[in-house]
Structures are given as structure tokens and as C-alpha cells.
Amino acid sequence: MHRGRTLRAVAIAVASVLALGCGGSDRPAGEIEGVARPAGDLRAQQKAQDTAKHALASDATRGAREKRILFGDLHVHTTYSIDAFVFSLPMFAGEGAHPPADACDFARYCSSLDFFSLNDHAEGITPEHWRASIDNLRECNARAGDPADPDLVAFMGYEWTQVGDTPSNHWGHKNVIFPGTADSELPARPINSRRHDTDRSLFSGFELIRLVRWIDPRGWSEYQDFLWLLARLGRTPVCPRDQNTLDLPPDCSENAPTPADLFEKLAQWGGDSIVIPHGSTWGMYTPPTTSMDKQLQGAMHDPDRQILFEIMSGHGNSEEFRSFREHEVAQDGQLICPAPTRDYLPCCWRAGELMRERCGDLSSAECDARVEEVQQLAMRSNVSPHLLFPDARGEDWLDCGQCRDCFKPALGYRPRESGQYTLALSNFDQLDENGDPKRFRYGFMASSDNHSARPGTGYKQYERRKMTEATGARSEFFDRQTQERLAELQPNPERPIVPQGEDMGLLAVDTERVASFLYPGGLVAVHSEDRSRESIWKALKRREVYGTSGPRILLWFDLLNGPAGPVAMGSRTTQDTTPQFEVRAVGSFEPKDGCPPASHASLSPERLETLCRGECYYPSDRRRAITAIEIVRIRPQVRPGEPVENLIEDPWRRFPCSPDPGGCAVRFEDPEFRTSGRDALYYARAVEEESMAINGANLRTEFDAQGNPIRTTPCYGDYRTDFDEDCLAPVQERAWSSPIYIDQP
């Protein structure tokens, strides 16, 4: 029976090869189907917003120049990104290609956004794909109607995707966005993060695909196309080093291994751009104990370009600081694994307990020695402690490494990379243009980090494996291939090792538990003068922006008594009077089932189903209530090395709101500011009433009476969790304003 199945598989494979040929091919950018949304729909949306705004307006804000809130997504990948292509393949039950054209139709008629950008990984963009994406976005904009009042604005960008193997050489991921799509407004090529000192294959970790095509022959063409792309990237020459970007050949691959290199090359090019760090707390690739401190040194931060911080995405929340540490380093360099607390279970500690469970008949002394050995190995394993025991599965690690009390946290939370920690830092060796210590002064935004050309996926909580990045082996057969590969690395499960080398590829990251920390994405909102591209860009540049965890919450945050009058979120000012603030927030609309008539009229039934999966942004006339407005105050360091724990007050003030769908407005002041002698920044968090959300309970951890974790039920991305299961749990969705920065005179 087994031999018969094998022969049939071989026969199918041979037939596939003969039918499809041995070589793969490139993927086109796709065809945009939809045209501009009806003007009446846009007017109705604006009218609803105006009604809510005017109901909460105060004397201080009513006379201000009217601005509208527009919603967008500035972090969108297509299957031109290597990782997106991989997870679209049949072995992961993927949907197949989602090219740039899909992003335009999805943003227009599935999520009904006002703007979005493309941000494929620069490390995997061929010269042809860069130009094809630009051409496709130009067509998307051309269909938007009057450029002064378009229904949708599409921006071009890329992601600089750097990952280090130690805290000292890890800089993280940054999106680069450009204001226009004309040749004069865009660089000749994206800039990637590859090191100058390497000539090895960039994607050698994906060699498994070369084997999978033979055991999954029905997907032969998809696997071949992926391998074709890898080969094309391998043929792209590396640009000459230490040469001005304007003098480089047009079709080479341009490297910038550090943020300083990236900022220098953007300066050489000379055009306008915004650089947005993101995913900073995501422990899937960020080495333990990594901290933002080093990114405030030298030229690693460009305050004119790096002005926004992605506080939330489909990969989790990066807002909150926590004082736990993954491990400690003694003065002699010895690594120390901290004991668990009620709030945090270190993975090094859990690794030791897994070893203890395997001690069997060993003496107590020998078992303790092995536990200590395993703890040391776990602390030296970078992001891969799960590889110490290849036969252990995700649930065996319980909830180690996770932030238990964070809102929609990122996997393996790195608190010293969080937004709050970042804004508490000061560099006293470098001064800014005002003569103050150099600091990060970000505006807060959110986006999706979607990898299937679906901008703005957070409008409804449905289709977990389509609207989040959750993925995995489509069947036990493909899972077994991975487990067999791991078993080769660890023939004796009682003697753990730390596999070395970059060829581990996807095996090096915690792909099993990460699916429980993936969400439909957030949104960026701008306070814009109008719908034009220029006005949206100006709002981004002045940081008059905020982020939401997905719903279209309306939020206003103003300093009422600035030196020249009211000051909006994202601003920086100097004053010696007691600052007085106002926050206004209105909850999002409850969604209706299905899609609005315009979506059905503009997209074919097949495309509507392929992209939107039967559900679109379709608001009812009932708004969710805002239950509370919380204010966070951060008073940055005033001396080198000052601990940040007492500088971050979260929440500093909390204002419960009545359950009124009309919204909530509060005023407050900080009487301590004048006499504190410290600069301060403030931001507002508007919290909605409970609603159900994908992965709202993450690993669904169960605890004993003492608060110790005893069991988890991960929401797997693979066959072990039903593909139709959305893993819903109640959360309180929210919006974060950009901070208002107030300096002492």
C-alpha cells in the first residue's frame, strides 16, 4: 500500500514536470479591477465623522481650523516579499500569489481605506519588481478621481529588514515611505540591510523548498516560481561599496548594514522620505536583552526622517514597558537566569524545568548540574531556546517569555525596545537643534504588516489565516518533515545542544507559538486638511497622527494653553505655565455582515471573494462606547544612566467614561510640571468597550491557585488548530495619540 502511494506520487511529479516544464517564471504585478468609490459614500462617511466631532467640540477647539480624520495602512507586503511568497505556497495551505494590484482593490473595496503604502522587503525586491510596483501604484492613483479629492492615495515604500544575532548588532526593521510616485520623487532602487562582508546566498535557509516540490508535486509550478525568484535575486549584482547612491548602476542591489548607513544613503539621494521603526519588541527575531539605547547614539537616529514609531501591527503591540528581564549579566560576564515571578516566566528557567522532567534516574546532583547547563545554553541561544529540545512542542514551553498583562503583546516581548522605554531615553553627549539632550520624539501610528496585499485588515475579526499572518504546515505529513529535520540536529534529547549557523532558516524562530500572537492589523490615522496626497503627507510630517488596534476610533488630543494657542498631538513646545489638555474620543461603528453595495458593484464576485473573503468594512449606525481615557506621562532622563522605571507613568491619569456611544471628553492639567524642572511628554489612550478579537487570549494559559502556569492551548497556524477556528476572546480595542512634547524653558 505504501509502495503504491509512493509510485503514484512519483508518477504525478513526473507528469507535472513534463506538463509545466522544469523552470519557474516571474509573477506579474496583477490587474487592478476597481475604480474610484462613489463620491456619495465618501460624503456620508465624512458627515458621520463631522457629527461625532461637533457633538464633543469645546469652546477651545470649536474655532480651530477644521481637519478631517483619514485612515490608512503604511505597512503592506505583497508576495514580492520573500517571506510572503513562502507562506503563500501549498505546503502551508497558502492562497497563492497576492501581487501589488490586490492591495489597491483591497484597500478601495474591502477595507475602504483613505491611503496605504507598499513596503515589500528590500532584501528580496528585484529591479523588475521595484519598477512593476511603482507602475501599479501609479495606476491605482490614476483611478482615484480628482487628485485634490481622491478616494484613495497610494504611497510607495519598502522595508529595511535588519536582524542581528546579538543585542549590540541588532537594529530591527524600518519602513521607508516616499511622498510621490513620479520618477523624480523615488530613488532608483530600494536599500537593503545586507552586510558588506558576506557573499553567501541571502536565502539559503529556504533550501527545504527545493525538496518539498518533489513530495508535493501538485504545487510544482508555485515552488518552481519561488526558486526562480531566488535565482534571480542571486544574479542581481551587489552595488559598489562606499559610492554615492546617485552614481550607482540602476539595477544593482544597494546595501546599508546599519541605520547610519541607511540615513546617509537617503541623504545622498536627497528626496523627502519618512523612516518608521516597527516590530521592535517582537522576540521572534530580536535577541534577548536588546535595548533601544544604542540607536540614540551617533548617526543611528535621523530626527528629520525617523519621526514616526509603529506602536501596533498585526505582529503585536510595542507600546508598554515592563521591568522584567529575559536574563541578567553579572559583573564577571556570567549569565544569570532569573526566577519566575507572578508576571513573567523566563524561557531559560522553563528550559531548566524541561530538563528536570527528563532527568529520570539521575542523581539529584547530576540533575541539578544538567538543569544549570540547559539554563546557560538557553540564555546563549539567541531567539532559539525552543531548539534545545527538538521533540518538545509549543505547549511544552508554557507561556515563557511572554508579557502576561500587555494588550495584544508581541511574541517574546522585549520591553527595552518598547515605545515607552524609547521615549524615556536621553543622550547627553549629543544635543539637538534647541541645545537639549538628543531624544527620540516620535509620533505614534499603527499599521497591519500584512503579507497578502491586504491593507487595513482589522476592520473585522474573521478569517484568522487570511487576515493575519498565522500559517503553518497544512497537514501532519508536512509537519513531520520539519520534525525529522529537527531530530537530525538532536539525536539524544537528554543532552540538549544549541544549533548554530544561519542555514537554520525558519527553524531558528519560534514558529509554533508565534501564531498565537498574530492579529488583524492596526491603522494609522491622520488629522488632515483634506483628502489630497499633499495634505496627508504634511500631517505625517508634523506627526499629527495616531494609531488604533484596528477599529476606526476617532481621537483628538490637544494642549489647550500653548504659547500661541491650542497645540495638536505630535507637537513640541516650550512653556513655563501649567499645561492644560483636552482629549476627545468616539468609538468605532459596530460592523454589519457582508459587504456594501458599492463593493459588489465594483468588483467581480470572484475577486470580491478572493480578496475580501465575503466581508468588507461595512459600518452600522451604532458606535461602540469609550469606557476610559488613560493618560501616560513620561519624563525623560535628566542624567546619564538614570533608571527609566520611575520615569514612565502608565497610566498617570485614568478617566472612566459613561457608556455613551456619543463619545467621551475630558480635561486635565499637570500642576507638577512647573516645579519639576523636567521636560515631559504626554499621550492619550482611548479604550473601547469589550469586543471579540482574534487571539485575544494568546496562548490561552491556565494557572494554578498560586498563579503558576500549568497548561497552554496555543492557537496554532498549522493543521493542529482548525483552519476555520478564529480563536476569539474579548479585548478592549484602543487608540493611541501621538505624544505632545513640552520642554522646560
Q: Are the beta carbons of 730 and 407 closer than 8 angstroms?
A: no
Is 564 part of any domain? yes
Q: 659: left (phi > 0), else alpha (psi -120 to 50), else beta?
A: beta
Burial class (CB in 10 A: 0-12, 13-18, 19+), 197: exposed
> φ, ψ for residue 742 (rounded to 5)?
-120, 115
Distance CA 111, CA 735 (A): 18
pLDDT at 196: 75
Q: Are 238 and 253 a contacting pair, CB within 8 Å?
A: yes
Please give the Cα distance from 223 to 212 (Å, whole number): 8
Phi, psi (5° rounding) for residue 520? -60, 145
Say if CB 491 and CB 484 are below 8 A apart.
no
For residue 626, being part of any structural domain is answered with yes
Per residue in 22-52, pLDDT (tens digit) is 578 999 999 999 999 999 999 999 999 999 9
Range of the domain at 278: 39-194+238-251+266-323+416-467+518-693+729-743
User: What pLDDT score was predicted for residue 499?
Assistant: 57
Report if residue 170 sits inside a domain: yes
What CATH number should be reported for the domain holding residue 176? 3.20.20.140
Q: Summarize pLDDT for 650-676 with one digit per residue, the tens.
A: 999 999 999 999 999 999 999 999 999
Query: Does the CA dihedral 138-139-145-151 come out positive or negative?
Result: negative
The enclosing H or E element of 18 equals: helix 2-20
Residue 200 pLDDT exceeds 50: no
Grouping H, G, I as helix, E, B as strand and the rest as coil, residue 392 is coil
Check if the beta carbon of residue 384 is closer than 8 Å to that of residue 347. no
Query: Does 495 reside within a domain?
Result: no
> Would you say residue 517 has pLDDT above 60?
yes
For residue 593, give the DSSP letter. Answer: S
Rounded Cα gap, residues 88 and 133, in angstroms: 19
pLDDT higher than threshold 90 for residue 714: yes
Length of the chain: 745
Which residues, at least 6 apart from 495, have a Cβ–Cβ distance to it below 8 Å? none
Q: E-strand spans in 75-145?
A: 115-118
**pLDDT digits 0-9 by tens, 568-597:** 999 999 999 999 999 999 999 999 999 999
As a three-state string, the secondary structure of 144-179 is CCCCCCCCCEEEEEEEEECCCCCCCCCCCEEEEEEC
Q: Which residue shows C-alpha cell 515631559?
A: 680
Give the residue carrying C-alpha cell 535595548. Answer: 291
Residue 330 lies in a domain: no
Reply yes or no on whether the pLDDT at 504 is more than 60: no
CA distances from 199 to 148, 172, 526, 558, 592 (A): 47, 21, 42, 52, 53
**Lowest pLDDT segment from 153-157, 350-354, 659-663, 698-702:** 659-663
Band of the pLDDT at 375, cuts 50, 70, 90? very high
Range from 71-85, 325-339, 439-453, 605-619 carrying the lowest mean pLDDT: 325-339
Task: Tell me the C-alpha to C-alpha distance, in Å, between residue 157 and each of 84, 226, 265.
Answer: 16, 23, 15
Task: For residue 488, name the pLDDT band (cuts at 50, 70, 90).
Answer: confident
- CA-CA distance, 206 to 183, in Å (whole number)? 34
Written as nine digits, the cell of 704 is: 494554578
Residue 348 lies in a domain: no
Q: How many domains does the chain have?
A: 1
Which three cell numbers, joined as nine digits, stand for 113? 481605506
In the structure, what pLDDT confidence band is assigned to residue 61 with cuts at 50, 70 and 90? Answer: low
Backbone angles phi, psi at 422, to 5 degrees: -60, -45
CA-to-CA dists, residue 502 to 124, 206, 212, 385, angstroms: 17, 11, 20, 15
Residue 18 in any domain: the answer is no
Query: What's the mean per-residue pLDDT of the chain?
Result: 92
Establish if 15 belongs to a structural domain.
Answer: no
64: alpha, beta or left, given left = phi > 0 and alpha = psi -120 to 50? beta
Contact between 337 and 352 under an 8 Å Cβ cutoff? The reply is yes
Q: Is 504 helix (H, G, I), strand (E, B) or coil?
A: helix
* SS3 label, residue 79: coil
pTM for the full predicted model? 0.94
Task: Give the whole-angstrom CA distance, residue 29 versus residue 94.
Answer: 18
Residue 166 · residue 150 · CB < 8 Å: no
Span 260-293, pLDDT tens digits:
999 999 999 999 999 999 999 999 999 999 999 9
Query: In the structure, what pLDDT confidence band is assigned to residue 139 with cuts at 50, 70 and 90?
Result: very high
